[in-house]
Structure 1
Amino acid sequence: MGVSAVTRSQGHALIIEDEILIALEVEALLAAQGYSSFDIADSPQEALSCALARAPDLITADFRIIGGTGLEAVEAIEAKLGRIPTVFVTGNADQLANARRAIVDKPISPRRLAEACQQALDSRA
């Protein structure tokens, strides 16, 4: 793939995406970075439920999802768990101009996703 792995031994990622093929692509790319467990949610409610059951080390989220937005999902999760490194993987980057988070445009570049994940992890302080 040409993407260097981040040091994320047994990291857990929450993928908020309502298109299963894209969710599985993100999962494979994160696995290549060293993440070892995943939850996939397609709505804000399911995302919150997954996060409360197992707190993620990283969240990736599409903007438009079933029943709301990925931004709403992340805000609900962070209201309960505190700030979590987040990368928005979306075709609607213009909708996230004020989100102050890493954004990866679709179609997904493996290198850009790896860089955005590292950026999100570095800025969690």
Structure 2
Amino acid sequence: MHLSMLAEDAGATSIGTADTEAEAVLAAQEQRPDVILSDVRLIEGTGPNAVARIRTDCGPIPVIFVTGTPEECKPCHYAAAVLSKPVNDRMLVAAFTKIAP
């Protein structure tokens, strides 16, 4: 919820959330995201796997990973940022603003 509010503060106009890899992929198929905010660990699956599938289906989309386990963010070379939890609100807003269309 907190990340969604920060994204809205940074200019996001539509936000979808997902708890699992499958939910994230389905949400992106229903509405292509302009930016992806993802954790590495999900309830089921991983953020990097979900993002890889989404980017395969939808093309290159800017990504910010926000995670308590940045060392597990693999593959994440394409990410605009990998931010550690607890996230610094200003850093997240700055990273989002930099990549948002």
TM-score normalized by the length of structure 2:
0.90
Moved over 3 A (4+): none
Unmatched tracts of structure 1, length 5 or more: 1-23
Match of 1:9 in 2: none
* Higher strand proportion: 1
| Distance in 2 between residues matched to 1:89 and 1:110, nearest whole Å | 11
Match of 1:81 in 2: 58
| Distance in 2 between residues matched to 1:71 and 1:97, nearest whole Å | 7
Match of 2:96 in 1: 117
Structure 2 counterparts to residues 21-100 of structure 1, below 5 A: 24-96=1-73, 98-100=75-77
TM-score normalized by the length of structure 1:
0.73
Shift of 1:60: 0.4
1:103 aligns with 2:82: yes
- Give 1:55's aligned amino acid: R
CA contact (8 A) 1:103 1:116 kept: no
Question: Which SS does the other structure have where 2:61 is aligned?
Answer: coil
Q: Which has the larger radius of gyration?
A: 1
Unmatched tracts of structure 2, length 5 or more: none
| Distance in 2 between residues matched to 1:58 and 1:66, nearest whole Å | 21
Question: Which SS does the other structure have where 1:37 is aligned?
Answer: coil
| Distance in 1 between residues matched to 2:46 and 2:7, nearest whole Å | 22
| Distance in 2 between residues matched to 1:30 and 1:118, nearest whole Å | 9
Name which structure has the greater RCO, CA cutoff 8 Å, separation 6+.
Answer: 2
Q: What do you get for the CA RMSD once the two structures are aligned?
A: 1.7
Match of 1:4 in 2: none
